[in-house]
Structure 1
Amino acid sequence: MQSFRAASSDALAALAERVEGSATAADDLFSVAASLRAEGALRRFVTDASLPDDARSGLVAELFDGKVESGTVELLKDAVRRRWTRSRDLADALEHLGVVAAVRSSGQEAGRVVDELFAVRGLVDDNAALRDAFSDRARSAADKAGLVDNLLGGKVLPATLVLVKQALAGTHRSVAAALEEYERVAADAYGQDVATVRVARPLDDRETDRLTTALSQQYGRAVHLNVVVDPAVIGGIKVEIDGDVIDGTISSRLDAARRKIAG
């Protein structure tokens, strides 16, 4: 999914402040986003800044009143009154807001949602059969949702289950990519950044605390660590956060040395 720029970024930030924390609101927002993606004429109409605000908000009220919660209808009316850099940004923003609604529904366990999404992404990355099942176009959405229920039901928070099912919608290049994006949105909704940390062995509590503190001070915000144990690292640590890569691994130094010798 694309990043938001200019007017779309401002609109999304304002709308995020209004999102209710409930699984129903999340489902409603995901459903409306899917409708806008499927109906190009509707999407273009409600994002056409040359049309009166009342015409756009009135149409979404007529279409969705009684089909989604009243709070979601009010949020949609607000959304279509705002300016969007690109027509498709509105649907992407509603999906983003759906993720926020799901995360907020978990209350103080939002950090656990981030951890669970990370764990599920690792499971998908490591299991080719599962990836194939999730990407199989011959399988219905209901069938794939049932697979998620069988795999994760009773093992993760309801918010996590909602988000994993949404990751199957095909709005990202892959299920893993969707889960990674949802991790970032979930952490942001919880007031944190996400750092993926690759190490050769698990970090102990002291090392975890020191790294978390250092990154939080450097980036000026609380940081949630997703730790990946990767023997290929050999030693040292690699951190990916906010598009930055801090690579202090022995493997990277060996690669640099090899390139220098070869050159």
Structure 2
Amino acid sequence: MKKFSVLFFITFFIINALSIHGVEAYSYGDPNEEKVAEVYKEMLVKLDENPPNFTAAKKSYESVQEEIDMHMGPEPSKLILKNLADEDKQALTDNMEKLLVLNIARRLDSIENNFSEYETTKRLLAKGFATYEALSPKVEAEHPENNKKIRADFDEALQALGNPGLFGVGKKEASLDSFKQNKDEILDTLKTEFKIKSLDVGHFSESATESNAGGKKDWTDVSNIRNWIPLILIAAVIIAVVIFVVRRRRK
């Protein structure tokens, strides 16, 4: 009986440890890439060719134009397409950078408007951070202190989202006020860095669900083999305990 009790507590400890490990791993998750940011990087490569390849850059932009027009209105595209037609590399680069800042603002606004949806807001923050990663080299080169500050603000914003935990284990309360403060600091720094007067992102959808289309919640994705490993380990331990107890009783 004493051995059975020991094995029971060992099993409980293993299950508890696995649960905590699953819910306390704070990370940005898989941002699934932010397409606008990826296109920006593609365009920079094309514009750095000698001579600049505006035709290829335009083709890259057109792959996301519909999404940009839908979420931000037609004005950004009109300006960027004009820069492409005029083959104005500097103006085009500047306006693409401003577009990415607007995209970050869009993501952060969606988080604030849907703050209770943890899995979705975490993905939105990941997309916002992925967008900033595309701008980060320029910020780092010109004002490294601002790059450091923005990254710290993103980290704090992630913490502000809290964590619902798994079955209540590892739960951490969210703080909308803290998130708003981090959001304002990120956007204020970006406005100063890229000389933007207003962050009016146009008539984009306020529903945060669009960023989760095609995505799956990390710990509920049954197609991901990694999510089965803890369950398999738990089942193996339980089976081993049962077999051990049955054999002991037979003796």
TM-score normalised by length of structure 1: 0.28
Q: Which has the higher contact order (CA 8 A, sep 6+)?
A: 2
Q: Which has the larger radius of gyration?
A: 2
